[in-house]
Structure 1
Amino acid sequence: MAEKASGNGARLTARGRATRERILRAAAEMMHVKGVTLTTLDDVRAASGTSKSQLYRHYLDKDALVRDVVALQAAQVLQGQQQLLRKLSSLRGLERWRDAVVEHNALRNGAYGCPLGSLASELGDQDEAARKAILRYFDTWEGLLKAGLDRMKDTGVLRSDADTGELATGLMAALQGGHLLAQTTRNVRPMRIALDMAIDHVKVFAAAGDDTTPPGEGRRRR
């Protein structure tokens, strides 16, 4: 595997890669908690325990660091979603996905929102390149949901007239809107309600005799 270059184009040693990784992960955590605007390079330097020369060797400016933060957050989010959705093939599986994302968000009482959604909200009107990159990541995420819904349609769990693209978009909108409300209220209940309603809409297209839970049944868990 080729060694990754630093911000000035030099190839990195193992120690250099470790330093870059420490800088990047410190920046990602700070930008998720404080926001991109309020996170300074000095903050990142202090949090990562690096000198100014080390920091600028790897990142010549904040824009370069933000680009790598977006890529890192996307990779982590999509890896987790891939694990949850790669075998999605039933309505109960969709409910289990809902439970997993709500319970994960409950670890911080909804604080800080979705890592990708928060970056999109902050960078969307400021950095066109970042907006387009985040859009591609959201498309990939939505595609994972659509693939699961397509499997349900192919196996007869959903009716043939189900528009899996629209249903996947609805689930994503409920998820991101739920993240925002949970972040604002510091309570994951609005997120669960939004996802329950989106899943109830998917159930409208359930074929007779499938494994569906009746609409609203998933709301009993809190």
Structure 2
Amino acid sequence: MPAAATVLTDRGRATRDRIVAAAATLIHERGVAGTSLDDVRAVTATSKSQLYHYFTDKSALVRAVIELQVDQVLTAQQPELGGATSMAGLRRWRDRLIALNEQDARGCPLGRLASELTDSDPAARAALTAGFARWQGRLATGLETMRGDGALGPGADPQALALGLLAAVQGGLLLAQATGSVAPLRTALDLALDSVEARTVPLAATRTPAGVDG
């Protein structure tokens, strides 16, 4: 039976989680190529047979790391990401991202993986693509709410706007990491949010004029 399909006990799940967490830290610091299974074994004090009990190979471990990092990246943006259902909410989310990256200038772990993973590991790249799609989907949900509330014009495409916001985040973070300043992230997000705001409907236009029956 493949390691990925193994039914885990509570103790086994805790051990697996500990291995994935340690691997995530090493990969964020050293990259995928710079992190070996022996490195992970040394940090977690696990044997080779124990490691292969949970992961069939390095690719399987990298996929588990991606899943963990996606969860961590999205969780770190809460509750602002879930509350990004208005321009004010989107700007609070923007402030949250900037604050997070002022604390940790190493950049987005997903963005770093994207620059490193190639077609030589299509399964890992597919997991990363799915992770970005989750992030885009969370943003699109908030923008769909805005359109449903009449705050976005009927021609606005929530998925396209969400993709633009996500691209601004990743591009801004890449430059922020290179320059050691969050200024590129701040600028990229502000420009992307200005683009969203340009597609909003003025509040007065969503109200029934005085003296006109609805």
TM-score normalised over the length of structure 1: 0.82
Counterpart of 1:12 (choices 8, 11, 23) is 8
Root mean square deviation of aligned Cα: 2.2
Q: How does 1:53-68 map to 2 (within 5 A)?
A: 53-68=49-64
Tell whether the 8 Å contact from 2:2 to 2:56 is kept in structure 1 after alignment.
no
1:95 is the counterpart of 2:91: yes
1:25 is the counterpart of 2:13: no
Deviation track 1:12-64 (CA, whole Å, cap 9, x = no partner) reads 33333222221111001111111011001111112112233332332342122
Bigger CA radius of gyration? 2
Tell whether the 8 Å contact from 1:159 to 1:205 is kept in structure 2 after alignment.
yes
Q: Which amino acid aligns with 1:121?
A: S
State the 1:105 CA deviation: 1.4
Match of 1:120 in 2: 114
Match of 2:167 in 1: 173
In 2, distance between residues paired with 1:158 and 1:178? 25
Which structure 2 residue ranges, 5 or more long, are not aligned?
205-214
Q: Which amino acid aligns with 2:66?
A: V
State the 1:106 CA deviation: 1.3
Match of 1:195 in 2: 189
Q: Which amino acid aligns with 2:135?
A: W
Number of aligned pairs? Answer: 204
TM-score normalised over the length of structure 2: 0.85
Tell whether the 8 Å contact from 1:74 to 1:137 is kept in structure 2 after alignment.
yes
SS of structure 2 residue aligned to 1:162: coil
In 1, distance between residues paired with 2:89 and 2:146? 10
State the 1:129 CA deviation: 1.7
Q: How does 1:37-116 map to 2 (within 5 A)?
A: 37-81=33-77, 83-108=79-104, 110-111=105-106, 113-116=107-110
Which structure 1 residue ranges, 5 or more long, are not aligned?
211-222
In 2, distance between residues paired with 1:14 and 1:156? 48
Tell whether the 8 Å contact from 1:102 to 1:191 is kept in structure 2 after alignment.
yes
Give aligned-pair identity as a percent. 50
Match of 1:130 in 2: 124
In 1, distance between residues paired with 2:47 and 2:156? 56
State the 1:153 CA deviation: 1.7
Deviation track 1:102-146 (CA, whole Å, cap 9, x = no partner) reads 1111112x21x2122222221143311222222122122111111
- My pick for the range that moved more, 84-93 or 170-179, is 84-93
